[in-house]
Amino acid sequence: MLDSVERLVDLTGAAVSRDPQIADALASGDVARVAAIPGHFAAVARRERTVILARTLAVPLRYFVAKMYHGPFLVVAERIDRIFEWCCEQRIAWQFDPAYTRMVPAHYVVELDQVGCPDPAPRYRRFFNPVIGGGTTDLRQAGTGYIGAAADAVRQWIEQVPAGRPIVVAFSGGVDSTAVLLLARKAMIDLGRSPRDVRAVTLDLGNGADAQQAEQTVRALGIEDSWERIEVPDDRYDLEDAIGVIEDYHPLDVECAAAGLCLMRAVRERHPDATYLLDGDGGDENLKSYPLEDSDLTIASVLSNPLLYHEGWGIDAIKHSLAHSGGLSRGYVRTYAPAAACAFSAFSPFTARPVIARALEIPFDEVVGGSADRLAALKQEVVAHGIKTVAGIDMPAHPKRRFQDGTIGTPRARVSKAWCRRVFDGLWSQRMRAAEDVEWRSGNEVSV
């Protein structure tokens, strides 16, 4: 072993923390210190031969073990393609496969020992431990706590936005985006800023139901002058492009990302000075507001696994892919990657840990009584109660509609996972064939 060689290759960008206090917390091994880190973060640290990684929902983090200089090199980045580029630069692309990369699961400290072959399995320690079901069954009180936490998260984020800079809200007129819009306007007023700097934008790919719903909502709220319909030709909705951007093949996330790219690119063209973006992603996961009929889930599986929508079946479960984590921990790339590609600093208050914790306090079993219909309607009631108490506004609360479905008048056929996976594999086959033209080298060759 060449112990003097630095074996951690950190390719992460600005979204990953360089705060030495966060690195110290990770390296200390004290999970309580990591849990106390406020806000969203992803970070990397080292303790002798152990590399430590951790992240929250909103910042992805990946790693890959490369064999070089008689030992393992841990390569860390936000994206799979950045790791591949590094392997090409080192002329070891022959070692790479996208399936060999690993996504750090949200809410865990991950420790990997660099001690040679075979590579030891990572160790996981949870740092987010919310109270489950210990709150009130009174939905007015539950809504006040939930939206109160979201209001705090929005205000804290807006405090970091320079005064006078525009803030865009991705707005469908649905429950989550309407709540975010109202909380952003309230935060601006509380901070002595103009709420007119907050602008709601709605994607319309052709007579979309969301555009009609959004217009009705802003009229009911009396804020039509703060809303803009973003009309985009339907042929810009490109699923293959979205697969490349998010580096994933989960069909619902691919569809969502394709619509998000249409919206963000259009906003970038029309408003080049707008770089701050708010959205309501995560609201469905928090209050379990997904239609069970289009999945293989039952109400029993949802209610008995409180973080199922956030983390999937968990780190110890047998999964379809080791290259991805589960739930929103995996799925948030549908928002993060398009926003990063379009140079937006994006944030959803519903992904903040204090907000998630407030949602998980709700005793869902008692509240819904085993009724899927009651569960489906719960979010509208909780959020509307919270907005009334926190913002003093009677908020229109429309039934749930997926973002991608509301953008166009004629519903599209659902894309299959098999098709998405073929596209994903095809993109990587092309990249890896191109890398074959580069002169390869042995991993045992010592760099000079």
The band of 446, judged by pLDDT with boundaries at 50, 70 and 90, is: low
| Arithmetic mean of pLDDT, 108-126 | 88
With pLDDT > 70 as the criterion, what percentage of the chain qualifies?
98
pLDDT at 448: 46
Give the pLDDT confidence of 404-414 residue by residue, as tens digits.
888 998 888 88
Residues 160-214 pLDDT 10s: 999 999 999 999 999 999 999 999 999 999 999 999 999 999 999 999 999 999 9
- Using one digit for the tens of pLDDT, what is the confidence trace for 36-72? 999 999 999 999 889 999 999 999 999 999 988 778 8
439 has a pLDDT exceeding 80:
no
- Kindly tell me if the per-residue pLDDT of 118 is higher than 90: no
Stretch 396-411: mean pLDDT: 87
Q: What's this model's pTM, rounded to 2 decimal places?
A: 0.95
Nearest to residue 151, comparing CAs of 391, 398, 392, 361?
A: 391
Task: Tell me the per-residue pLDDT of 345-391, one tens digit each, with 9 for 90 and over.
Answer: 999 999 999 999 999 999 999 999 999 999 999 999 999 999 999 99
Q: Is the pLDDT of residue 5 over 70?
A: no
Span 139-425: which CATH code? 3.40.50.620
Domain boundaries, the chain: 8-128, 139-425
Higher pLDDT pick, 440 / 175: 175
**What are the distances in angstroms from CA 298 to CA 282, 290, 294, 301?**
20, 11, 11, 5
Per-residue burial over 189-227, b if 16 or more Cβ lie within 10 Å, else e, is eeeebebebbbbbbbbbeebbbbbbbbebbeebebeebb
- Measured CA angle at 294 (ends 309, 260), to 5 deg: 65
CB–CB of 310/356 below 8 Å?
Answer: yes
Instruction: Summarize the confidence of residues 313-339 as an average pLDDT.
Output: 92
